Amino acid sequence: MIVTRFAPSPTGYMHIGNLRTALYSYLISKHEDGKFILRIEDTDRERFVEGATDIIKSTLSITGLGYDEGPDVGGDHGPYVQSERKEIYMEYAKKLVDMGYAYYCFCTKDRLEKLHEEDATGGYDRHCRNLSPEEVQRNLDAGIPFVIRQKMPLEGTTSYVDSVFGEISMNNSELQDQILMKADGYPTYNFCHVIDDHLMGVTHVVRGSEYLTSTPKYVLLYDAYGWERPTYVHLPLIMGRNEDGSISKLSKRHGAVSFQDLIADGYLPEAVVNYLALLGWCPKNSETEFFTLDELKSVFTIDGVSKSPSVFDYEKLLWFNGEYIHKLSPEKFEELVTPFIKCEIPSTVNKARMLELLRTRITKLSEINERMAFFISLPDYERELFLNKKNKISDFELVKTVLTSALDILSATDSFDNDTLFAGLTPLTESLGLKTGTIMWCIRIAVSGMTATPGGATEIMEVIGKDESIARIKAAISKL
């Protein structure tokens, strides 16, 4: 059975790159009916942020990436929070020391700092690598603080085959004797994720390509313990486009980079997930780019993952989001957009009709305020707005005539629904000898104060109601 995991560090927010990792990891296992695990990697206590784990869990829940094992759902391989597994790591680190693949290092901070000052790129000089067992024991008995380092082979090469990037090979002489256990008793990421992936039965390690070249160090650990290496699936980098057209690692200056910020800005989780799925993966023989999570489960395979960096395209995400919003049912749209509405909607406004006019026209939920503002109150506008070549309106007298005649009809109309209004105003074409477009142009400007509106004149009047429509038309006439 395929077992994958998502192993985020609780650093405060869900970067969209991390969410893409979670998604791909989830899909790779679920494509094969496998298991997906959530593990919280919180051993770097300096970076730990209170509440960050909740953000991770809620993001997975909102996006539908349910996990089979994890902090709150439990499972056979818990605990799933690394800070609760300290003893396990120490035990395995000591095993490694006994087997000759790791060693105690008692170097003081001062010594290491000095070393760094002398040669910033040289790394650790392996000072403690060959201490005698007696010396080590003496130091331990004396309570001297220690770290445990990995004893890297000094010659030869270490290779592994990544499912996306192919064979990766490193000269062992380039590998540092990295720290596995820190002086505070916590393990480093470099060590504990290997132990956990093995103990939790992870078959496919899916993560960002920043770990591609450190992985030789990790496979050496698997080899040292005699454990089967997992399949590695490193994902391409996510880049952002700079103003000058060049690309660089996606960061805040390119736009929102956290899932929460996108949601707060009115993106739908389904649209984000769909877009992220395509950011580094390409479906085979597919005519569509639209996939639900269930559809992704059935079509997602590792061989569709690309190794070239993916450029995050905010325009494309916005387009996707619009498509998802337009497909919402009116009820669902109202439910989702209501929390974004910042102003009081007057009771005379037909909210349901207004939202229905906007549903197919907005691309993110936060646009709602700006787009609906003219329904709530008439914007200030210049009378020149009425003049229009296409509708052959070149003088204000004509507009005045249209609006005055329309006012008579509207005042005598009780039912302000779109069809009745349209039927009621149509006879004006004959009596005034004008095209419907010309008449509706005048009325639409009068009731909206804008030349481009969601919906036509009668639809707008249906939303704002009789009194407001009449008041706006009267105001227009006095402007002319």
Nearer to ligand GLU, 191 or 386 (CB): 191
Instruction: Examine residue 207 and tell whether it contacts ligand GLU (CB under 6 A).
Output: yes
> How many residues contact ligand GLU, by CB under 6 A?
7
CA distances from 475 to 377, 384, 403, 453, 469 (A): 13, 15, 10, 19, 10
**Applying CB under 6 A, does 234 fall inside the site for ligand GLU?**
no
Residue 197 CB, nearest distance to ligand GLU (Å)?
8
CB of 72 to ligand GLU, least distance (A): 19
Residue nearer to ligand GLU on the CB measure, 189 or 227: 189
Q: CA 445, CA 424: separation in Å to the nearest integer?
A: 19
- Report which DSSP code applies to 7: -
Question: Is residue 205 classed as helix, strand or coil in its secondary structure?
Answer: strand
User: Among 6-14, 277-285, 350-358, 448-456, which window interacts with ligand GLU (CB under 6 A)?
Assistant: 6-14
41 binds ligand GLU (CB under 6 A): yes
| Active-site entry in 95, 114, 249, 252 | 252
Smallest separation, CB 301 to ligand GLU (Å): 20
7 touches ligand GLU (CB under 6 A): yes
**354 within 8 A of 448, measured Cβ to Cβ:** no
Minimum distance, C-beta of residue 1 to ligand GLU, in the bound complex (Å): 19
188/45 Cα distance (integer angstroms) = 10
Q: How far apart are CA 26 and CA 38, in angstroms?
A: 10
State in angstroms the smallest separation of the CB of 327 from ligand GLU: 34
Q: Is 56 an interacting residue with respect to ligand GLU (CB under 6 A)?
A: no
Tokens at 210, concatenated: 């920043």
Q: With b meaning 16 or more CB within 10 Å and e meaning fewer, what string describes 87-115?
A: ebbbebbeebbeeebbbbbbbeeeeeeeb
**Is residue 8 a contact residue for ligand GLU (CB under 6 A)?**
yes
327, 257 contact by CB (below 8 A)? no
d(CA 190, CA 201): 18
Query: To which H or E segment does residue 55 belong?
Result: helix 52-63
Could you say whether residue 204 binds ligand GLU (CB under 6 A)?
Answer: no
In the range 351-390, which residues lie near ligand GLU by CB under 6 A? none
The interface region with ligand GLU, picked from 7-15, 315-323, 391-399, 448-456 by CB under 6 A, is 7-15
Query: Is 252 a catalytic site residue?
Result: yes
Chain positions 173 to 202 lying near ligand GLU, rule: CB under 6 A, are 189, 193
Residue 82 Cβ vs ligand GLU, minimum distance, rounded to whole Å:
9
Rounded-to-integer distance, Cα 39 and Cα 364, Å: 32
Q: Which of 9, 274, 350, 438 lies at the binding interface for ligand GLU (CB under 6 A)?
A: 9
Give the tokens for residue 16.
Answer: 């969209």
Which amino acids are annotated catalytic? Answer: 252
Site residues, ligand GLU (CB under 6 A): 7-9, 41, 189, 193, 207
